[in-house]
A and B are shown apart, each in its own frame.
Chain A
Amino acid sequence: DTGVSQDPRHKITKRGQNVTFRCDPISEHNRLYWYRQTLGQGPEFLTYFQNEAQLEKSRLLSDRFSAERPKGSFSTLEIQRTEQGDSAMYLCASSLNAGETQYFGPGTRLLVL
Chain B
Amino acid sequence: GENVEQHPSTLSVQEGDSAVIKCTYSDSASNYFPWYKQELGKGPQLIIDIRSNVGEKKDQRIAVTLNKTAKHFSLHITETQPEDSAVYFCAASPLGSARQLTFGSGTQLTVLP
Q: Is the CB of A99 within 8 A of B99?
A: yes
Q: Is the CB of A42 within 8 A of B45?
A: no
Q: How many A-B Cβ pairs are below 8 Å?
A: 62
Q: Mark A75-113, 1 if CB is under 8 A from B, else 0.
A: 000000000000000010100001101111111000000
In this complex, the interface size class of chain A, counting residues with CB under 8 Å from chain B, is 20 to 34
With contact pairs A99-B93, A99-B99 given, residues A106 and B43 touching in the complex (Cβ less than 8 Å): yes
CA distance A23 to B36 in the complex (A): 20
- B73 interface residue, CB < 8 Å from A? no
Q: Using Cβ atoms and an 8 Å threshold, which residues of chain B touch A44?
A: 103
In this complex, the interface size class of chain B, counting residues with CB under 8 Å from chain A, is 20 to 34
- B105 interface residue, CB < 8 Å from A? yes
CA distance A40 to B99 in the complex (A): 24
- B91 interface residue, CB < 8 Å from A? yes
- A65 interface residue, CB < 8 Å from B? no
CA distance A32 to B96 in the complex (A): 16
Minimal Cβ-Cβ distance residue in B for A91: B43
